[in-house]
């Protein structure tokens, strides 16, 4: 920390406890920041693309996560450096906005920082670099919109949507049955989508997982799946044309709020009390029967007596159902959540075509399926898998696929994947650089080089010769003037991404370029880092 001295040579304090703080300024600060950003990007670089590697992360309490979803890796990594935290935020915002492309956006930002470092060493001012990057990102986004293709789909022809979801899933652990999962994701999104408003509420899609079975057993249920069973083993396991009472009040006698005690000194008093209680229970069960309910779903528990009475009156019941699940059941069956028995009316009952209990494997695990509901706008995806980690990773992959399907319904333009969009933008930015006379020209060319890092990483991860492969594809782009040629990661034998059906959403790609540029500009403009030094 540089000390300030007065005219007599005595040091005086400007920053509190300045001797305990460390300070980086100027070029050193920028280089330190760039190194931190590059380090994060290097971790994710190997997990880009269909042949990308997975990362295994262990949390402080011993939970293990295996994933190659960029946002999850960075969330769990527990980063300490401030600039590295910016990279974590970057992938998180891509995840919130688009849901897919979280690895690519960090790799792109890392490449831009790497190029900026070379320019800084040549003595170019960081602000000029940032301005050059801004211009270049504008050229790239314009070019993306120019090469994007409109993409026709309808509720009856879902094949294009499925193809795009398969591209997302091909880089995940579930790629061996990506076709099935992509179809499930698309059908789920179309079931809850409002196609006129081009809006999809992903909250209506519930994703449940259960260890056991195999990944191919994953299914889409047009209804709700509840991880509960009937409260009494002798209640019927299958109810057709069910009328469901959804209650948030417990099946037990009311308790006064004040403190009280009841003195019972004779048998008669005890009998009276017992009869009174029984009357309460009888009334409750009778109220449910009177409105025509054939199934009771309750948020709270009920004691054995109530359970016995319900069994006796032939009224199946489910207890301890969570609040979120109750809401989804209410949405799906068109019922109302009833807080008091007095308010039960036939109009407030939900309707379902079939409610059945299903048991799994040799364990006593049972789940309740509520299907053929009055309002099919709530669906459940039920995942099976060999172990817990597999199910968690499948949930994350499904989330990405659901987001891609949602983005296509919002904006149905696509670009081609496999690095082809980046190579095409890189060529456009390179040729656009000649139109700028100033120092920014260098930064624009560097931006074009940074865009090449994505196809380069794809080729590297697929075990191909990165530089040879990239230059071959690039020359093909320039010769044939087609924006469809990408890296052939899966060794299909063709570079044409149109034939391989590798699509990505336009809004996803555009967001990647814009977000990465914003973060890099922000990092380049920092020239002084004051931090408490470690003692």
Residue of 36, 20, 16 lying closest to 28 (CA atoms): 36
∠ CA(50), CA(53), CA(56), 5° rounding? 140
CA 84 to chain centre: 21
Active-site position among 46, 67, 69, 517: 69
Residue 481, φ and ψ in degrees, nearest 5: 50, 40
Active-site position among 46, 67, 72, 103: 103
CA 20 to chain centre: 42
Active-site position among 95, 229, 400, 488: 400
User: For this structure, is 95 an active site residue?
Assistant: no
Residue of 505, 509, 493, 512 lying closest to 160 (CA atoms): 505
Q: What is the largest CA-CA distance in the chain?
A: 104
Residue of 490, 484, 408 lying closest to 98 (CA atoms): 408
User: For this structure, is 63 an active site residue?
Assistant: no
In the numeric block, the tokens 């417990």 are attached to 250
Q: Using an 8 Å Cβ cutoff, are 317 and 229 in contact?
A: no
Q: Using an 8 Å Cβ cutoff, are 341 and 363 in contact?
A: no
Residue of 200, 206, 236 lying closest to 223 (CA atoms): 206
Active-site position among 46, 67, 72, 102: 102
User: For this structure, is 103 an active site residue?
Assistant: yes
CA 535 to chain centre: 40
For residue 61, give both structure tokens: 């309490």
∠ CA(62), CA(393), CA(95), 5° rounding? 105
User: For this structure, is 400 an active site residue?
Assistant: yes
Q: Which residues pair with 186 in a beta bridge?
A: none
Active site residues: 69, 102-103, 400
């Amino acid at each position: 920390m540089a000390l300030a001295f007065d005219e007599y040579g005595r040091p005086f304090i400007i920053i509190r406890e300045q001797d305990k703080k460390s300070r980086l300024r100027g070029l050193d600060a920028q280089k330190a920041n760039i190194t931190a950003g590059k380090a994060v990007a290097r971790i994710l670089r190997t997990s880009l693309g269909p042949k990308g590697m997975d990362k295994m992360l262990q949390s402080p309490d011993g939970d293990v996560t295996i994933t190659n979803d960029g946002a999850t890796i960075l969330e769990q990594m527990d980063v300490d450096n401030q600039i590295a935290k910016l990279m974590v935020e970057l992938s998180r915002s891509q995840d919130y906005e688009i849901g897919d492309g979280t690895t690519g956006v960090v790799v792109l930002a890392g490449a831009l920082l790497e190029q900026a470092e070379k320019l800084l060493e040549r003595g170019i001012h960081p602000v000029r670099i940032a301005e050059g990057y801004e211009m270049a990102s504008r050229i790239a986004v314009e070019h993306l919109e120019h090469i994007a293709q409109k993409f026709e789909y309808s509720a009856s022809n879902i094949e294009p949507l499925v193809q795009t979801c398969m591209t997302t899933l091909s880089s995940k652990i579930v790629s061996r049955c990506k076709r099935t999962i992509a179809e499930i994701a698309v059908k789920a999104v179309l079931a809850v989508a409002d196609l006129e408003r081009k809006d999809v509420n992903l909250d209506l899609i519930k994703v449940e997982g259960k260890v056991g079975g195999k990944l191919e057993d994953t299914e889409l249920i047009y209804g709700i799946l509840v991880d509960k069973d009937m409260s009494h083993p002798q209640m019927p396991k299958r109810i057709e044309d069910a009328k469901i009472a959804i209650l948030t009040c417990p099946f037990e006698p009311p308790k006064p709020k004040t403190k009280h005690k009841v003195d019972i000194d004779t048998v008669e008093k005890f009998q009276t009390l017992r009869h009174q209680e029984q009357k309460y229970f009888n009334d409750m069960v009778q109220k449910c029967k009177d409105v025509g309910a054939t199934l009771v779903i309750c948020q709270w528990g009920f004691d054995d007596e109530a359970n016995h009475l319900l069994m006796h009156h032939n009224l199946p019941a489910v207890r301890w159902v969570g609040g979120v699940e109750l809401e989804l059941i209410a949405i799906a069956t068109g019922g109302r959540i009833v807080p008091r028995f007095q308010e039960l009316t036939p109009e407030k009952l939900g309707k379902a075509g079939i409610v059945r209990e299903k048991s799994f494997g040799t364990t006593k695990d049972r789940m309740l399926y509520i299907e053929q509901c009055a309002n099919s706008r709530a669906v459940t995806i039920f995942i099976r898998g060999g172990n817990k980690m597999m199910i968690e990773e499948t949930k994350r992959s499904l989330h990405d696929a659901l987001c891609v399907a949602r983005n296509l319904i919002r904006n149905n333009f696509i670009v081609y994947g496999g690095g082809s969009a980046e190579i095409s933008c890189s060529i456009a930015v390179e040729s656009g650089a000649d139109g700028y006379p100033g120092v920014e020209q260098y930064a624009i060319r560097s931006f074009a080089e940074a865009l090449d890092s994505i196809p380069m990483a794809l080729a590297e991860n697929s075990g191909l010769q990165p530089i040879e492969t990239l230059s071959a594809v690039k020359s093909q782009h320039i010769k044939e003037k087609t924006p469809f040629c990408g890296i052939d990661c899966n060794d299909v034998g063709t570079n044409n991404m149109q034939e391989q059906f590798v699509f990505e959403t336009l809004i996803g790609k555009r967001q990647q370029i814009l977000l990465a540029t914003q973060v890099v500009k922000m990092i380049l403009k920092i020239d002084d880092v004051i931090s408490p030094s470690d003692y």
